[in-house]
């Protein structure tokens, strides 16, 4: 089992490498891949030094699986080349997510749709993944009618430049900025670029990807995505209108028995999810579950997860594990 990690020297790529080792992924050969400027560098993996190779070299090595986290343009250009060589690509960028010929997969929800013919598989956006891991069980039992979403997203979702900006601002250093404004002691209602409808790309990903993954375009969805000076993970406040009646107790029980979900919900003991505790973990944490008294069949949720793990690396590797377990590669 030869596995290539494309974007191995980036923030998500580094997490992928550590998680392949942590989860004892059944690979026989690791191929770290990066841009030309990183070719020849060595990365550490399970006590070995492995040389980084370029994209064409990696294609020629014909890996069984390629885990991509190198941006949309790289993916659009190179994922088909890997696929033509017989490699199954699992891509972290937005390049293939809304392509009707490609599956958009969260293993807890729709991995069973995958077949051997799926050579390019899209990994959803981080904020979509954590939300739907928590809400898909509700969709199956009660149906989702409408979602009002506010996200509070970690700077790690932007990348190394954003982390550097926050660190510099904390120390009073002026340097290159990843954002148009300071992020230290601030909140930016601006994740990704603005679209013609005045929503950002990040906000529209929550709408479009949810419809595709759940296979239900009738769900009403509106979102506001906010960047905050946090490193550990993304948080989301989601107001959910169900199609059938439920109760807080029934919902807590359902989510407590759902794959990948941890319920942390006890106001009496100040127990609720926070990114400081989600950091470094693979689960999606759900709390502050309460009825919305202003509207029938409507509940509020606070959903937190490490965006670099379940929101990116973990979900990608879980897809690869599913492919291997079901002999689809």
Angstrom distance (rounded) from CA 32 to CA 5: 5
With beta carbons less than 8 A apart as the criterion, state whether 302 and 324 touch.
no
CATH 3.40.50.720 in the chain is located at 2-123+312-325
The rounded distance, in Å, linking the Cα atoms of 191 and 152 is: 10
Angle between helices 248-256 and 126-141 (to 10 degrees): 120
Distance CA 309, CA 40 (A): 27
Residue 221: strand pairing partners: 147
CATH architecture of residue range(s) 127-307: 2-Layer Sandwich (3.30)
pLDDT at 8: 96
- Rounded Cα–Cα distance for residues 114 and 328 (Å): 8
Catalytic residues: 126, 234
SS3 192: coil
Q: What is the side-by-side strand order in the sheet with 261-263?
A: 220-227, 144-153, 234-242, 298-305, 284-291, 261-263
Could you give the residue range(s) of every CATH 3.30.360.10 domain in the chain?
Answer: 127-307
Position 110 scores a pLDDT of: 98
- Residue-wise pLDDT tens digits, 199-253: 999 999 999 999 999 999 999 999 999 999 999 899 999 999 999 999 999 999 9
Q: Supply the CATH classification number for the domain 2-123+312-325.
A: 3.40.50.720
Structure tokens at 232: 């550990």
Please give the Cα distance from 263 to 37 (Å, whole number). Answer: 44
pTM for this prediction = 0.96
**pLDDT lower than 50: segments of the chain:** none
């Amino acid at each position: 089992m030869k596995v290539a990690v494309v974007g191995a020297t980036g923030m998500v790529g580094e997490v992928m490498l550590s998680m392949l080792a942590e989860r004892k992924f059944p690979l026989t050969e690791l191929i770290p891949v990066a841009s030309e400027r990183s070719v020849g560098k060595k990365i550490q993996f399970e006590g070995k030094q492995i040389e980084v190779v370029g994209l064409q070299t990696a294609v020629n090595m014909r890996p069984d699986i390629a885990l991509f986290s190198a941006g949309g343009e790289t993916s659009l250009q190179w994922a088909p080349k890997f696929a033509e060589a017989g490699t199954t690509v699992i891509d972290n960028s937005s390049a293939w997510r809304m392509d009707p010929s490609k599956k958009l997969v969260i293993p807890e929800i729709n991995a069973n749709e995958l077949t051997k013919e799926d050579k390019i598989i899209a990994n959803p956006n981080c904020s979509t993944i954590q939300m739907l891991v928590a809400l898909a069980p509700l969709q199956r039992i009660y149906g989702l009618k409408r979602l009002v979403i506010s996200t509070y997203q970690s700077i790690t979702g932007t990348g190394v430049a954003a982390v550097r900006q926050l660190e510099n601002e904390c120390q009073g250093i002026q340097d290159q900025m990843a954002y148009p404004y300071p992020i230290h002691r601030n909140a930016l209602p601006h994740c990704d670029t603005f679209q013609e409808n005045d929503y950002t790309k990040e906000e529209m990903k929550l709408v479009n990807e949810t419809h595709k993954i759940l296979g239900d375009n009738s769900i009403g969805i509106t979102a506001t995505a906010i960047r905050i000076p946090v490193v550990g993970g993304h948080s989301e406040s989601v107001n959910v209108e169900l199609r059938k009646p439920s109760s807080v107790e029934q919902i807590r029980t359902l989510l407590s028995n759902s794959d990948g979900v941890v319920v942390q919900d006890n106001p009496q003991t100040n127990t609720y999810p926070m990114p400081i505790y989600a950091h470094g973990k693979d689960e999606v944490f759900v709390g502050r579950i309460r009825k919305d008294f202003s509207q029938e069949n409507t509940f509020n949720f606070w959903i937190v997860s490490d965006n670099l793990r379940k929101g990116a690396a973990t979900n990608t590797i879980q897809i690869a594990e599913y492919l291997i377990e079901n002999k689809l590669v």
